[in-house]
Amino acid sequence: MKTMEHTNALAEARALEVPSRELSLRRDPSVSKFWNDNRKLLETAWVQWEQENKGNLLLPDESLLAPKLRKVINDAWENPEKETAVADLWEEIIPGVYETQFFDLERLADFRKYLEDAVNSGIPKRAPYGIQLNRYGMMLDPRSEGHFAAPSFQAFYNAIMDRYMRPISRLLLGTYGYDNQTFGFSIQYNPDKDKDLHAHTDASSATLNINTNLPDEKFTGSVVDFYDKASGKTVQTKFQPGKAIIHRGNVPHATHPIESGQRSNLVVWLYGDRMQIPRGSTSSYGNIGSNTIKDVALENVTARQRWSLPDGPKDTVAPF
């Protein structure tokens, strides 16, 4: 009986009539109602999708990530005093913006194939509002309507947020106490649809932006500007395959128009309860004496605290 229910759920999900992009961009109430009314159906459909394809479907896990990053992360969870090795892997672009190799280049094609399989599943998924319904435009977090609810992906997503992003952002960006909540989405830039993103800041304590382009997927344009408030200078950087940039949400940034090819990214946020973010720009590592520190309490955060999980529950509010 249970298998029959799951089979029906997958078929029913594929048969749903999804609200138009126009209705979605207008925030029409019928759109939210559609996703909420069908939430359980869609979640069950994702379970069945995994069951039906378990013989040839990748189950994403930490083995997809760069070996050096995995090692220092595992070492720091075992002994937080080794966290300096984690910080040393990240190259500073400007204060509050860092870059490192996040995915293993030899496994990136496996992950992209998995995303392709999800796109072709026929199960409705909601793209981020304001972003065209392109091939990889999906909401990733359970707080979002129409999110990518495949159990194996959710386990992988939680590992990235809990084991990687949160302690790293605490270490580099001083976000401890403002990082209980998670949010994420995927996006693809291409010349025909989503070309650019104007200057903005994020409603996050920390943003992790991971490029999932394969090494042979070239693109031109789509350079990212980061504005250094202290110096008044703008620094440009270009995403490389499998690399991630982590930055404070309050760092202004913009994406130049993409001219050819396409750029695929996963974008994930951390922020505090009730959407709280730190008052100032602080770092737990390196420049503790910096005059950018506004919240003195963060100076007293221990390594053990940085490498710990939040006690409180996740809320259900989505930024967009």
| The residue to which tokens 């896990």 are assigned | 61
Q: How far apart are CA 241 and CA 104, in angstroms?
A: 9
Domain ranges of the chain: 61-306
| DSSP reduced 3-state for 245 | strand
DSSP state of 19: P
pLDDT in tens, 106-155: 999 999 999 999 999 999 999 887 665 455 689 999 999 999 999 999 99
Q: What is the pLDDT of residue 24?
A: 87
Burial of 263 (0-12, 13-18, 19+ CB in 10 A): buried
**DSSP for 162-199?**
IIIIHHHHHHHH--TTS-SEEEEEEEEE-TTS---EEE
CATH no. for 61-306: 2.60.120.620
| pLDDT for 296 beyond 50 | no
pLDDT in tens, 219-264: 888 899 999 998 999 999 999 999 999 999 999 999 888 888 888 9
Stretch (H or E) spanning 117: helix 108-119
pLDDT in tens, 63-103: 999 999 999 999 999 999 999 999 999 999 999 999 999 99
pLDDT in tens, 22-47: 898 888 999 999 999 999 999 999 99
Rounded alpha-carbon distances, angstroms, from residue 272 to 61, 154, 278, 314: 26, 20, 9, 10
